[in-house]
A and B are shown apart, each in its own frame.
Chain A
Amino acid sequence: MENVIKIRNLEFRYSLDEENILKDINLDIKKGQIIGYIGPNGAGKTTTIKLMLNLQSGYKGTIEIFGEDISKNKTDYKTKIGYVPESGDLYENLTGFEILEFFGKIYKIQLDKLHNKIRSLATLLEIEKSLDEQISTYSKGMKQKILLISALLHNPDIIILDEPLNGLDANSVQVLKTLLAKLAEAGKTIFYSSHLMDVVEKISDRIILIKDGKIIADGTFAQIQEQSKSGSLEGAFSHLTGFTKSEEVADNFIKIIGD
């Protein structure tokens, strides 16, 4: 199967006096894969995504998307990418409809088709009644739904999601999980970064674990289980990131609050 994302010897740091945030990252991601990109806070997950989207310059190594070096083709490749950012800060003074219409126009979707798409997708995600209200009145979950629609509106080939379940209710989480699986079946590549191990475990067909800017595990859930000798992804995560004292922390916590 063809590689849609190819990363070679990727290194990055924000300033010269700092340590590298990403250290020699090498990745080959194939069409139709669902990648669960996990790691502790500050491991470099969001930075990897930002580099893939050309939001940050000054990295070493190469990133190729659809076979093109993104440092040379800075914007065109993004027409085939959908992105849900980690931060849910939207343009608060615009309505949900206005934001989605804006995105649709940027992706050059025909206006009639765009308006139908927006209304239909909003109905499916149960936010159609609030579409004409300002984003500032939305709940966190509603904003997240707007972000999801904006990322998928143009039917992208690669979908990059950075903590997409923030604020979503249980039913919406279920819908999103099923949606991602079906999108992957349809040949879409999904790059999913999250802290929620149970979701990553269920939806990903390949899990990449990053710690301190380095990839420390890469494989299917079964392979990760094998490598860590742990039954769950949560256990594997703790084992591989070297965090084994949760019991000790919890015991000490209870002791201190009881004093």
Chain B
Amino acid sequence: MKNYLALRFLDLFKFLFNLFGYDYSEIRLILQLKITEGSRRSLMQFSQTKKREKERKINFSFENIFFLVFGLLFASMSAILAVENPFTSFTFLYSIIAFFTLMILFTEFSITFFDMRDADFLLPTPIKPESLSIAKNLYLFSTFFRLAMLMSLPSILFYGYFFNAFIVIPIVIMIVAEIFLLIAITSILFGILLKIFSGERLKDFTGYLQIAISLILFVGYQLALNNEKSVNSLFEGELPSALYFIPTSWFAAFPALFVKDTNFSLMLKLSIIAFSFSIIGYFLFAKVIAPFFEKNLFKLKINVSRPKKKRELILFPKFFDKFEFGAFYHLSNKIINSDRKIKMTIYPAVFLSIFFPMLMLYRAFKEQGANLCNTKYFYVVYILSFMTIQIYMIIFHSSYYKASWIFRYLPIKSPKPIFLGADFALFMRFQFPIILILNAVVLKLWGLHILPELIVILLNSLLMILMFLILSDKYLPFSQKFIGNKSLSYRSSSYLLITFIIFPIFGLIHYLFTLFFPGVYILIPLQIVALLFMWHGFTNSLIWNEVKE
């Protein structure tokens, strides 16, 4: 294993570990194992084949570049804000770090702390549990410090240039403090779950909590952007007491102390809060919660069978039984229902797919009022289709990918029913309900007269799904392993991109046909013909020879 720079840096603090009576060489060795494993896993995995060293390096560099580019994008915003109000700019920076860190932290936290391989392989050896715990803490911290630094580097460079070079020190100190606090908060939430639940239920609730936090953050961020006025008044000093409830402003306060024209007393108080919460939080995590995790790791493996409620989540189940793909439709529904990873990947996408159009409709309604029904804002329904298309890439993956041998073993001439069953299950389970809800809202706001246009949008969306399905690689449903946070292959990602580029053209055609009467009524039959043509193309492409391993 490589002697990483982080390890060599840590060697400088060896004396500290020895001072507190910890076995430094043991901690270093475990950390080396975790870093090696983590660097090859990568937080943003795009490839899922057997990787060679070169490919792994590309992946790791890609991840670094990705966060650096994000940092560059945010730096421009930080710069604009810094000219007006440095404190607002710093708060923006720490909010961005918190947002992205929390989005990934939950997954990384559960991977690091709930790694059953540690219980199976490391703890039976003479490794001291506290060494394992410290190594995991360090690993988690180093991972997020790297990401936070990449994201904030362009902004920090700007601050250094704009204010003075020394501002970099308090900013970096507070990045460390923020990561401490974020890890502590996450650990408390995980600790509560571990205390209450065990086995599969624990894993389920961990997943739900992860989705909930990500969505709350995302929705909160969007709502804040939509309430620009109140956010501005907050940072212009009109509501100083409200800042006590915004944790990211606590961290911004410390570097703000070193900038001219800031409210020194308020910034000092907020800085003290930031330091206190971070130090106490991290101490609580390292001394109480992390050892609690190690002791209770076994709870993940306890399997208490719970009688499952017999409920029919599937729409029109009996109806589909008539078709050849009916059996695969039911099986796919059951796999999706029992595969936590699939649900955790799809649910946020589905939620955001309906959240964004709804948010845009809300904004349009606020702006236009009664005039809304004379506008074309209902085109936001396209956004839903645009965003949900990615779920068709997830269907190749499953936690139970090894069980996919069953599809190949079955004596069926064509893989058509397997693919159709899985794709249909996805459509009926995830896409159809939200299409129904959004269209109902749109119809309520605009009235029945736009129904033909909504039909055009639905047909365009179906065309886009089919186009993507025709283009995408024909892996058997549920046959590929999930790796990292995402499991999109390069090829599938590029097909998705092509679909995204073509989709606005569909929207444009739709718009052009609305410019004359009876344009929409001419378009609908044309779309149906195109749909039948593409359906034929799609089903014909489903042959065993085309199916990839």
Contact = CB atoms under 8 A, between A and B. Distances in A.
A255 to B, nearest CB: 24
A15 B296 CA distance: 12
Nearest to A105: B29
Contacts of A256: none
A14 B37 CA distance: 31
Given A75-B126, A136-B50, A93 B37 contact: yes
B119 A89 contact: no
Interface string A51-63: 0011111000000
A18 to B, nearest CB: 8
Given A55-B298, A134-B50, A78 B126 contact: yes
A107 B125 contact: yes
Which of A106, A137, A150 counts the most B-chain CB atoms under 10 A from its CB?
A: A106
A49 to B, nearest CB: 9
Contacts of A91: 33, 37, 117, 121
B37 A106 contact: no
B1 A98 contact: yes
Contact of A55 (B32, B123, B299): B123
Contacts of A74: 128-129
Given A91-B117, A94-B36, A106 B26 contact: yes
With most chain B CB atoms within 10 A of its CB, the pick from A74, A81, A98, A102 is: A102
B41 A93 contact: yes
A51 B123 CA distance: 12
Contacts of A157: none
Secondary structure at chain B's binding surface: helix, strand, loop or mixed? helix
B29 A102 contact: yes
Contacts of B295: 57
A40 interface: no
Contacts of A251: none
A186 B302 CA distance: 38
Chain A contact residues (Cβ within 8 angstroms of B): what range?
Answer: 20 to 34
A126 B290 CA distance: 40
A19 to B, nearest CB: 12
B126 A89 contact: no
B239 interface: no
A66 interface: no
Chain A CB within 10 Å, residue with most, of B129, B298, B299: B298
Interface string B117-152: 101110111111100000000000000000000000
B124 A106 contact: no
A15 B121 CA distance: 24
Contact of A89 (B29, B50, B116, B123): B116
B123 A87 contact: no
B479 interface: no
B290 to A, nearest CB: 16
Given A15-B302, A53-B123, A89-B116, 20 more contacts: A14-B299, A15-B198, A54-B123, A55-B119, A55-B123, A75-B126, A79-B126, A83-B124, A87-B116, A89-B117, A91-B117, A93-B36, A93-B37, A93-B40, A94-B1, A94-B40, A102-B1, A134-B50, A136-B50, A150-B121
11 contacts: A14-B299, A56-B298, A74-B128, A76-B126, A85-B124, A89-B116, A101-B1, A102-B1, A106-B125, A107-B126, A137-B50
| Ranked 4 nearest A-B pairs via Cβ | A93-B40, A83-B124, A78-B126, A85-B120
